[in-house]
């Protein structure tokens, strides 16, 4: 069997591995280049240390900065077109979805999955071992069904000093009837392995730069999976697939792609690859773009629709004591109490990450603190003391708000073209009252948590901030989590969904669209581990 | 007597010896000698000179991080599990 996999990111690399191990001849076509060798240097010398900043760019295959926003809200999340995809820059946090997240449609909110948590659960375990996750099963079992005999491949990472400080105050307290408990977050970075597991790469040394780059190679990236590909998997980078071809019966026969020569020009050659099966794994937005460009898989009119993400609310404060931020991973624990329950029928639920990197993301610390104190006239020892006192107590809460599948949030093809002459994706994106009510509820929960912690709240959202808005008179703001999903939604019927439970396009028996784009709901969890579980489930379906 | 480094010490609250240990006195003198105080402080604290970080060392030796007692992200990792410990008290 000849398979073409479009995209060498998270899902594509896993699928290619399983297909290759089972005798398929696999060609992986990646639009981006190899990761540049100077990425760490670029990170260090970037004034704005944003997720895409360390990585080389190409004129022919631009990353998310080529999106065109046309909706009431700007789509806030970046993605990366490079070998390894956005999984090169990701944060490496891997909580599973909750069982109830799989049937949010029953609440009248968004859509339900065609499979249950129980059906996906064995594939979660497989994905956690394929990627290398550090977590404690007993701790996860407090809020999730995890089989009794299951062990994650690595023990949970040590918590931060901040986590201990927060837990010592809030554990056992209640907010809105919910009992709070600071819970370890599964991590895709190397810790202490259990017997029988051999981690790839070094142990996490605490560089505190996981997004966008781990200099230690302790964080999982798809390159680790690629290093285990058998010889019958071939990777070709700089190859932008711009059409998938189907015959009159709907069977996919080949893909067309443009292979470009250098980073700065659109000079390219045109190629065709024939295939018995094609797997699109190019990112939720790019998969939708390619299906729309090919005129395939859209009998339901759902291709590109239901674009979702996790709108993020950041709140930031000072602990009463120094807690030592900017040491270790970005977040090692969270509070899971607000992820489910009856409230989600009326407002979006959320997951709380306890953020260990000061006010780096929320306010640009410590540069912003320095600028503030210098502007206030502080010099010398007074300046040094002020920066030390401020930054050493900083922490951020990161609320990931569920966004329901809404067909009005969609990817279409813009009239504008990129350098290769392909349409740029046009995004019409908005936040519903359900999401806005969730953001408001998150803010109220933050207020209460800061009170409990006796923390000095410095959160402010101002009209000239990016992505500022008001909801029922309340100032709010949202950030992007990088969790694009929903654009080739999975379902039980070809009339209302794009792919079936195997991520196979209903309209084409040998065309698969994998990744977060298949997810009918994202729940409140970072979606990569769910994407990985789905990818492995699909791959095993393909080889049996 | 080195006027630039003396002024830098007075503005930043770091001793001449601490500033010299960064290895950046000479490149910073070339950039910032005679510049307004605010720009000299920003350069020493954040490594940013007029919107640009001139090289990796400027970032890695940023005094804002030294004031807090942590390494800038992506430079000198504190070691596996060290983040669980109480931060060292500042001098």
Judgement on whether residues A186 and A208 belong to the same structural domain of the protein: yes
Residue B84 lies in a domain: no
Count up the domains in chain A and report the number.
2
A206 to B82: CB separation less than 8 angstroms, yes or no:
yes
pLDDT band at residue B88, thresholds of 50, 70 and 90?
confident
The last residue of a domain, from among A447, A477, A507: A477
Query: Residue B82: its pLDDT value, please?
Result: 97
Judgement on whether residues A357 and A466 belong to the same structural domain of the protein: yes
What is the average pLDDT across A151-156?
A: 98
Contacts B79 to A, Cβ<8 Å:
205-206
Judgement on whether residues A437 and A426 belong to the same structural domain of the protein: no
Token couple for A39: 């990425």
Judgement on whether residues A101 and A233 belong to the same structural domain of the protein: yes
Could you tell me the residue range of the domain that residue A242 belongs to? 1-132+222-310+402-430+483-544
Mean pLDDT taken over chain A: 98
**Residue A503 to residues A95, A411, A544: CA-CA distances in angstroms?**
22, 19, 15
Please state the φ and ψ torsions of residue A118, each to the nearest 5 degrees. Answer: -60, -35
Judgement on whether residues A387 and A517 belong to the same structural domain of the protein: no
A43, A206, A371, A386: which to substitute to probe chain B, counting the most B Cβ within 10 Å? Answer: A206
Judgement on whether residues A442 and A328 belong to the same structural domain of the protein: yes
Instruction: Evaluate if residue B90 carries a pLDDT over 80.
Output: no
Q: How far is A133 from chain B (nearest CA, A)?
A: 16
Query: Residue A176: its pLDDT value, please?
Result: 93
Judgement on whether residues A472 and A370 belong to the same structural domain of the protein: yes
CB A412 within 8 A of CB A304: yes
What is the average pLDDT across B70-90?
A: 94
B42 to A374: CB separation less than 8 angstroms, yes or no:
yes
Residue B80 lies in a domain: no
What is the average pLDDT across A157-181?
A: 98
Contacts B77 to A, Cβ<8 Å:
205-208, 215-216
Per-residue model confidence as pLDDT tens digits over A454-467? 999 999 999 999 99
Residue B43 lies in a domain: yes
Contacts A381 to B, Cβ<8 Å:
13
Residue B82 lies in a domain: no
pLDDT band at residue B1, thresholds of 50, 70 and 90?
low
Per-residue model confidence as pLDDT tens digits over A314-348? 999 999 999 999 999 999 999 999 999 999 999 99
Token couple for A489: 């939604």
Instruction: Evaluate if residue B91 carries a pLDDT over 90.
Output: no
What is the average pLDDT across A493-517?
A: 98
Query: Residue B89: its pLDDT value, please?
Result: 76
Token couple for A474: 């309340």
Query: Residue A172: its pLDDT value, please?
Result: 98
Query: Residue A199: its pLDDT value, please?
Result: 96
Query: Residue B40: its pLDDT value, please?
Result: 98
Could you tell me the residue range of the domain that residue B42 belongs to? 3-74
Judgement on whether residues A190 and A241 belong to the same structural domain of the protein: no
Count up the domains in chain B and report the number.
1
CB A158 within 8 A of CB B83: yes
| Minimum CA–CA partner of A189 in chain B | B80
Residue B79 lies in a domain: no
Measure the CA–CA gap between A180 and A160, rounded to whole angstroms. Answer: 18
pLDDT > 70: what percent of chain A?
A: 100
Is residue A119 helix, strand or coil? helix
Judgement on whether residues A377 and A465 belong to the same structural domain of the protein: yes
Judgement on whether residues A377 and A318 belong to the same structural domain of the protein: yes
pLDDT band at residue A391, thresholds of 50, 70 and 90?
very high
Instruction: Evaluate if residue B52 carries a pLDDT over 90.
Output: yes
What is the average pLDDT across A34-57?
A: 97
B87 to A387: CB separation less than 8 angstroms, yes or no:
no
State yes or no: ipTM above 0.95: yes
Judgement on whether residues A289 and A421 belong to the same structural domain of the protein: yes
Judgement on whether residues A345 and A284 belong to the same structural domain of the protein: no
Contacts B80 to A, Cβ<8 Å:
158, 191, 203-206
Q: How far is A527 from chain B (nearest CA, A)?
A: 25
DSSP string for A428-488: EB---HHHHHHHHHHHHHHHHHHHHHT-EE-----TTSTTEEEETTEEEE-EE-S--B-TT
Contacts A318 to B, Cβ<8 Å:
none
Instruction: Evaluate if residue A258 carries a pLDDT over 70.
Output: yes
């Amino acid at each position: 069997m000849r398979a073409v996999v479009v995209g060498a990111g998270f899902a594509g690399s896993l699928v290619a591995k399983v297909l290759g191990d089972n005798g398929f001849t696999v060609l992986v076509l990646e639009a981006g280049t190899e990761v540049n060798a100077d990425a760490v240097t670029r990170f260090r010398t970037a004034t704005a240390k944003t997720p895409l900043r360390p990585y080389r760019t190409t004129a022919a295959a631009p990353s998310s900065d080529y999106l065109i926003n046309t909706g009431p809200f700007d789509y806030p999340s970046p993605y990366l077109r490079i070998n390894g995809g956005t999984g090169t820059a990701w944060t490496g946090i891997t909580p599973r979805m909750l069982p109830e997240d799989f049937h949010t449609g029953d609440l009248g909110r968004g859509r339900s999955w065609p499979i249950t948590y129980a059906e996906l659960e064995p594939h979660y375990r497989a994905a956690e071992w394929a990627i290398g996750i550090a977590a404690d099963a007993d701790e996860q079992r407090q809020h999730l069904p995890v089989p009794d005999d299951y062990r994650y491949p690595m023990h949970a990472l040590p918590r931060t000093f901040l986590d201990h400080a927060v837990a010592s105050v809030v554990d056992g307290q209640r907010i809105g009837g919910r009992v709070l408990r600071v819970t370890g977050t599964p991590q895709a970075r190397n810790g202490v392995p259990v017997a029988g597991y051999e981690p790839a790469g070094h142990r996490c040394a605490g560089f505190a730069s996981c997004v966008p780059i781990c200099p230690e190679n302790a964080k999982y990236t798809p390159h680790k999976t690629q290093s285990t590909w058998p010889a019958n998997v071939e990777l070709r980078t700089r190859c932008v697939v711009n059409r998938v071809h189907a015959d009159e019966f709907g069977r996919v026969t080949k893909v067309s792609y443009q292979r470009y020569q250098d980073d700065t020009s659109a000079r390219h050659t045109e190629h065709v690859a024939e295939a018995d099966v094609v797997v699109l794994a190019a990112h939720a937005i790019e998969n939708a773009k390619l299906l729309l460009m090919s005129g395939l898989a859209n009998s339901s009119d759902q291709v590109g629709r239901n674009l979702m993400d996790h709108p993020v609310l950041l709140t930031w404060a000072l602990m009463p004591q120094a807690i030592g931020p900017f040491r270790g991973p970005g977040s090692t624990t969270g509070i899971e109490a607000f992820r489910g329950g009856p409230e989600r029928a009326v407002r979006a639920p959320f997951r709380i990450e306890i953020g260990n990197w000061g006010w780096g993301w929320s306010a640009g610390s410590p540069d912003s603190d320095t600028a503030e104190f210098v502007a206030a006239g502080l010099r010398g020892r007074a300046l040094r003391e002020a920066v030390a006192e401020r930054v050493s107590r900083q922490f951020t809460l990161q609320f990931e708000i569920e966004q329901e599948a809404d067909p009005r949030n969609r990817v279409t093809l813009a009239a504008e073209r990129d350098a290769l002459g392909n349409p740029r994706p046009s995004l019409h994106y908005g936040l519903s009252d359900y999401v806005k009510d969730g953001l408001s509820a998150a803010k109220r929960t933050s207020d209460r948590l800061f009170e409990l912690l006796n923390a000095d709240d410095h959160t402010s959202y101002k009209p000239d901030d990016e992505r500022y808005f008001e909801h029922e008179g309340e100032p709010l703001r949202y950030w992007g989590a990088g969790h694009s999903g929903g654009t080739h939604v999975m379902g039980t019927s070809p009339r209302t969904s794009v792919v079936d439970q195997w991520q196979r396009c209903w309209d084409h028996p040998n065309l698969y669209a994998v990744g977060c784009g298949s997810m009918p709901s994202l729940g409140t969890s970072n979606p990569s581990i769910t994407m990985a579980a789905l990818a492995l489930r699909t791959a095993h379906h393909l080889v049996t | 007597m080195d006027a630039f480094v003396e002024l830098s010490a007075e503005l930043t609250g770091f001793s001449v010896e601490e500033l010299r240990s960064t290895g950046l006195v000479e490149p910073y003198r070339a950039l910032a000698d005679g510049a307004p105080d605010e720009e000299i402080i920003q350069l020493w604290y954040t490594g940013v000179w007029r919107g640009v970080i001139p090289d990796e060392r400027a970032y890695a030796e940023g005094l804002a991080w030294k004031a807090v007692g942590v390494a800038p992200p992506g430079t000198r990792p504190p070691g596996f599990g060290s983040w669980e410990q109480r931060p060292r008290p500042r001098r």
